[in-house]
Chain A
Amino acid sequence: MHKEANEVLLEIKGLFKKYDDMTVLDDVNLSINKGEVVVILGPSGCGKSTLLRCLNGLEKIQGGDIRYRNKSLVDKDVNWQEIRQHIGMVFQNYELFSHMTVIENILLGPVKVQKRDKNEVMEQANQLLDRVGLLDRKDSYPRQLSGGQKQRIAIVRALCMNPEIMLFDEVTASLDPEMVREVLDVILGLAKQGMTMLIVTHELSFARAVADKIVFIDKGKICEISDPDEFFTHPKTERAQHFLNKFQY
């Protein structure tokens, strides 16, 4: 994939996170350049989802620093509302607002939070919906949509805020197998356009196709950061080797 100028957007330094007595993330260091697609892999419960949640201010951290455009996000006076407009997030269970139609879901953030002109946002929303092939569902309620459709809408909802970075938290994990593809295609399309993304997933072949960089986490620690081809053919650590073996029949 293409790499633009090595402008660092997000930088994680010595991140430490624990729930009660259990350490979930331990001394995590990672930086994400503009236009880069970083895929985080690792066994279940290794802390990869927690890492994404920290980057969106949904979890408090106990140590280290997270910097967005060189501005620390661990200061007490950090305005998460502002930051979240630049760092979009898509969840495993879609989490569309169940009482709103598709278009209402999409407009809520741009119109109420960003105070943008409704017509302008509507136009953008229509374009995005068209791109994911769901323009005709814009007045549906989430309960009328399939999982794959809901997830594509959730991606549109996040994109419509014009974020600089997108976080994807196991977005295909709740989907029926036949719907995984339609969602991954959307993300692949975004990668081609140069969107900066941080993706947590279990879809290994997708990871290999989309990633500029693979980050392997185990037991809350980053074990290795590699080029995708290198990671899948010659993983540096035994743990990564072990992890990859589990997916082979």
Chain B
Amino acid sequence: MNDARAAIEAVYRAEAPRVLATLIRLLGGFERAEEALHDAWLAALDSWPERGVPDNPRAWLVSAGRFKAIDRIRREARFNAASAELEQQIELAALPEDNDAPAIADDQLRLIFTCCHPALAPDAQVALTLREICGLTTEEIATAYLTKPVTIAQRIVRAKAKIRDAGIPYAVPGPAELPDRIETVLQVIYLVFNEGYLASSGATPLRTDLCAEAIRLARLLGKLIEEPEATGLLALMLLHDARRAARVADGEIVPLDEQDRTLWNHAQIAEGQMLVRQVLAGRFSLYSVQAAIAACHTAGGSDWPRIVALYDLLVRIDPSPIVDLNRAVAVAMRDGPETGLALIDGLEMNDYRLWHAARADLLRRLGRMDEARNAYEAALAMTTQEAERRFIGRRLRALKS
């Protein structure tokens, strides 16, 4: 492949998701839009190498795709009344002006709400969002989720069939539904991020592409819609992601207090902390409080009294055993391991590996080595992720020596 062709492909890849979103609105469905996008790509391959990439490739592709779709509909059924009506609809649908960025962004926003529709299963929401909004290929999504491309493809096909057959609209929901629907969108974005960040099994714990995609989606959503929780989620992800390079060393998870801070992305931390200050000026909510906790961890030294206070808030906003466990660990840092251990023992989360790991750490600090060893071994038996296993293995060896 020569350089010119590679350059054209790069332009196409960058523009395709936005072009698709607009074509879906113009043509009223995934199938026609995908056909039209493919036709537009063929037209671009025909024209761009000779005439050069147009100034506004996005508008060029939208316009070419729309033209090809009308052409196709005409060819398909010349005497069909329904297709004549469809053709007319497409002719009348507003075509974004050359530099009408907001209109194109709105098309993407509509599509995000379609892909993250609560009538679709969560794994389908994730796959569809990565495919249609982020423009990842089925193979890339399958690699990220350690599954077969055919599984992802089936998920996407089924989701598209439901969108078509059940009448899921390409629309931003009305004000009454918006808060719930944004919550689903944020959940999908956070799922994508966590899958990239904390991959629950496998040899490589960090799948950075998914983190970058999730951050890109949160930025996009924040640009399109005024929603403090979207800003909170963006801040949370920026702060976690900023520590990515320091989180694993030699294939082993590095705990926060042992991380090499020179490896942190300080520009990203500054942005995350600025966003946290911004959202905490408003109401306290799920992602913004978590982001505030992450901000404490990335500040000079962790301010444990403040972190405990934030966990107290989180327990009220989103009570769960995992939040209780994290709060107990923060209390141990503030008041000493004995107090923390009493809280953790009260939780009895025997089937959760991090409960055992947290207990083990406090027992170790209290000098109760036999109990610490048993707890580490219990955690190790439940851990499938290689980097975490190595970390626990090292702690166990240190106890024995």
A, B bound: no
A residues near B, CB below 8 A? none
